[in-house]
Each structure stands twice: as C-alpha cells, then as structure tokens.
Amino acid sequence: MSGKDLANYLEQRVAMLGISRSEVARRADISRQTWYRLLSADLTDAKLSTITRLAEALETTPLHLLRLYLDEGVDRVHLNGASNDAGGFLARTLETPANRVSPSGN
C-alpha cells in the first residue's frame, strides 16, 4: 500500500480546495484521529466507506483515492488474468468497459 502517495495527494487536495483539515474530517464524517493517521501515512487498514466519504468531501472519486492507497494503478498491473491478488482483481475489474473512469472523474 502506498499511504505516502495518498497522504501527499490529500494534502494537495485540501490546499487546492482551500479548506481546513478539520473541515475535511467533518465533511467526511470521519474521526480526526483517522484523518490524521491518513495524512501521516500511518493508516494501513482504511475502510472502503472511509475512502468513499473522504472522496466525496474532497470532491474527487473513490477510485482515484483507492488507486493511490493500494498503489496498484492499472498501468502497473499485469492484466493477463493470472494474478489472484486483490490489486490484480481490482485492476481487472476497473479495466472492464463499464467501469472505466476518465482521469477527470467524468
């Protein structure tokens, strides 16, 4: 997992939106402790619901945050069907035409 990549993105996104860290935690309805553990790359077991609420609060997509968190971008995973790990499954699932998301989130 790449908690550092996610933490860097979170910091940049908060600055870009011009909101406080506390406001993000409030909007996402997550504890300040969880939020600060994400920001310090100290959380290795974030719940999908946390990532989803955080994405909404930061006006981005859960998929984008998951890719950063899992450090398994589709471009770095072999999609030959041989991988049985969670990252490979996620990548194969995301590569199906019905699930493709543009980089802008549209």
Give tens-digit pLDDT for 32-63.
999 999 999 888 788 899 999 999 999 999 99
Measured CA distances, 55 to 12, 25, 49, 61, 69 (Å): 13, 11, 10, 5, 12
**Domain count of the chain?**
2
pLDDT at 77 (0 to 100): 40
26 and 78 belong to one structural domain = no
For residue 103, give its domain range: 72-106
For residue 48, give the CATH number of its domain. 1.10.260.40
The reply to whether 103 falls in a domain is yes
pTM over 0.85: no
Can you tell me the distance from the alpha carbon of 24 to that of 22, in angstroms, rounded to the nearest whole number? Answer: 5
pLDDT at 104 (0 to 100): 47
The reply to whether 67 falls in a domain is no
The reply to whether 78 falls in a domain is yes
57 and 78 belong to one structural domain = no
40 and 82 belong to one structural domain = no
